[in-house]
A = this chain, B = another copy of it.
Amino acid sequence: MNADILALRIGLLGLGTVGGGVAEFIQLRSSRLTHLFGCQLQLARVLVREPRKQRSIDLPPELLTTDPGAVLDDPSVAIIVEAMGGEQPALDYMRRALRNGKHLVTANKEVLAKHGPELLALAAQHNVDVYYEASVGGGLPLIGPFKRDLLANQISSVRAIINGTTNYILTRMAEAQVDFAAALREAQALGYAEPDPHNDVSGLDAVYKLAILATLAFHSEVRPDQIYCEGITKLTARDFRFAAEMGYQIKLLAIGHDRAEGIEVRVHPSLVPKAQLLAGVNGVYNAVELDGDLVGRVLLYGRGAGSLPTASAIAGDVIDLARNIRKGISNRTEVTLGPTRRVLPMEDVSTRYYLRLHVADRPGVLADIAAVLGRLQISIAAFIQQEVDAARRSAEIVIVTHRAHEAAIRSALDEFAGLTSVLEVAALLRIEDGS
């Protein structure tokens, strides 16, 4: 081997969708990388649960092991790529790798969101690096731009579609006017949703990713348990119809704002004006939009998941690490967290709202509702009254508000519960118009 070529031995944890993509990439692309960057990636050992399982990728059987120590404690391994997912045992393995002086590249959003600052501190202590581009947005460059290219900016807000499963489901609900359950079954049949879709449709996956992005954007630790979260399971074809009529798409947005009073972070279905680029992000694609004081508005768009896009991000991290290793340095991009800032409770957030109500079909009902909203300083921007259901003697109304406080909206819902004229609050959604 040419003396200028750096051999880098990689220990891989997990050989599922993500790990399989990484192994495939190293096998197929190693010679191109050697040619372009003078570094040769070698797969040293792969930790798996079932060594004899049939896999789409064909690896020499002696590479596979069920013993974590055979990977984590191998002194020839310079970089551990963690592709197992889940909090444990991944977290313990990652700690052990760092303590053993190995660099870490991970796609694990849950561990990064919950324990990122701890792992980064542990890495600094052992003079190694943690790279995690693959943890948010698949192959879409996000962590890199935040940590490098956009770093001079004060970021005032982030709005992101960062879960491909829910974006696929919402795209189908908008296109085909089907309800949530039908769109979910379709996504499952296509492999875009897991058999147990809870983490995606509840919004939890987006919460982990927002915790990572908001921490980077606002230079202050944001934990998943500080993020308000609503999933997409209650959305109905009816709300998609009204939203479309009023010029909106419905998207599950992960939103972060840097406010004078603190950081605002929330994940929930949002009405997005159709003229905005985010409204045109369809199917399994992800997009992150941010506002920086110097750069203005930036949007980054791409495939947020999948084997090869995630391998692309991991490979980019490994190449960047290889450059450090060649130069004999580490911990080049220090973590740049400022003092921890307050995260606003949801009650203190203000935004615009979409309310769908079933009301009694009789005189005075609108006056009742308008009186409640007026007392709470909630001002009405648009109003639709739908056809009356004669049999039930009820009518359906949709109200769009100007900017109002979440606390005021919650009080309004409480007061509606006490009105005999309001039969049901069928939907409460938030509007994100980018202002």
A295 at interface, CB cutoff 8 A: yes
A141 at the interface (CB under 8 A from B): yes
Closest Cβ of chain B: how far from A337's Cβ, in Å?
9
Annotate A325-342 by CB proximity to B: 1 below 8 A, 0 otherwise.
001110011101010000
CB neighbors of B among A3-44 (8 A): 21, 25, 29, 32-33, 35-38
> Given A139-B296, A140-B298, is A152 in contact with B303 using a C-beta cutoff of 8 Å?
no
Produce 1/0 per residue, A295-339, CB < 8 A to B. 111111111001011011101100110011001110011101010
Give the docked Cα–Cα distance between A332 and B328 (Å).
11
CB atoms of A309 and B295 under 8 A apart: yes
Chain B residue contacts of A324, Cβ below 8 A: 332
Is the Cβ of B150 less than 8 Å from the Cβ of A316? yes
B-contacting residues, A45-81, CB 8 Å:
none
Measured between beta carbons, the chain B residues less than 8 angstroms from A333 are: 323
For A281, the chain B residues whose CB sits under 8 A away are 277
Q: A301–B303 contact, CB under 8 A?
A: no
A99 interfacial contact with B, CB 8 Å: no
Interface footprint category on A: 35 or more
With both beta carbons as reference points, the residue of chain B lying nearest to A323 in the complex is identified as B332
With A and B bound together, what is the CA distance between A141 and B148 in angstroms? 9
A292:B312 contact, CB within 8 angstroms: yes
A144 on the B face (CB < 8 A): yes
- Does A247 make an interface contact (CB < 8 A)? no
Cβ of A152 and Cβ of B319 under 8 Å apart?
A: yes
A:201-251 near B, CB below 8 Å: 219
Asked if A125 CB lies within 8 Å of chain B CBs, one says no
Selected contact of A312 from candidates B139, B144, B150, CB within 8 Å: B150
- Residue contact B296 to A299, C-beta cutoff 8 Å: no
Copies of the protein in its oligomer: 2
| Structural contact, A327 and B338, CB atoms closer than 8 A | no
- Asked if A110 lies at the interface with its beta carbon under 8 angstroms from chain B, I say no
Q: How far is the CB of A63 from chain B (nearest CB, A)?
A: 21
A308 touches B323 (CB 8 A): no
Output the least CB separation between A27 and chain B (Å): 13
Taking CB atoms, residues of chain B closer than 8 Å to A292 are 139, 312
Please report the C-alpha to C-alpha distance between residue A289 and residue B312 in the assembled complex, in whole angstroms. Answer: 16
**Which one of B29, B298, B301, B319 contacts A139 once the chains associate, using CB atoms below 8 Å?**
B298
B149/A141 in contact, CB under 8 A = yes
B35–A139 CB distance below 8 A = no
- Cβ of B319 and Cβ of A151 under 8 Å apart? yes
Q: Is A133 an interface residue (CB 8 A)?
A: yes
> Is A374 close to B, CB under 8 A?
no
A197 interfacial by beta-carbon distance below 8 Å:
no
Report B-chain residues with C-beta under 8 Å of the C-beta of A313.
Answer: 149, 295
Q: Does A420 contact B (CB under 8 A)?
A: no
Asked if B301 and A277 make an inter-chain contact with CB atoms under 8 angstroms apart, the answer reads yes
A302 near B299 with CB under 8 A, answer: yes
A145 at the interface (CB under 8 A from B): yes
Within 8 A of B (CB), among A118-151: 133, 138-141, 144-145, 148-151
**What would 17 A/B residue contacts be, using CB atoms closer than 8 Å?**
A33-B152, A36-B338, A139-B295, A140-B295, A141-B148, A141-B149, A144-B145, A148-B148, A152-B311, A277-B281, A294-B309, A295-B309, A296-B302, A297-B303, A299-B299, A299-B300, A328-B329
For the complex with contacts A292-B312, A294-B312, 14 further pairs of A-B residues with Cβ separation under 8 Å are: A21-B294, A37-B334, A141-B141, A141-B150, A144-B144, A148-B316, A277-B280, A277-B281, A280-B280, A298-B303, A300-B300, A301-B301, A323-B332, A327-B327
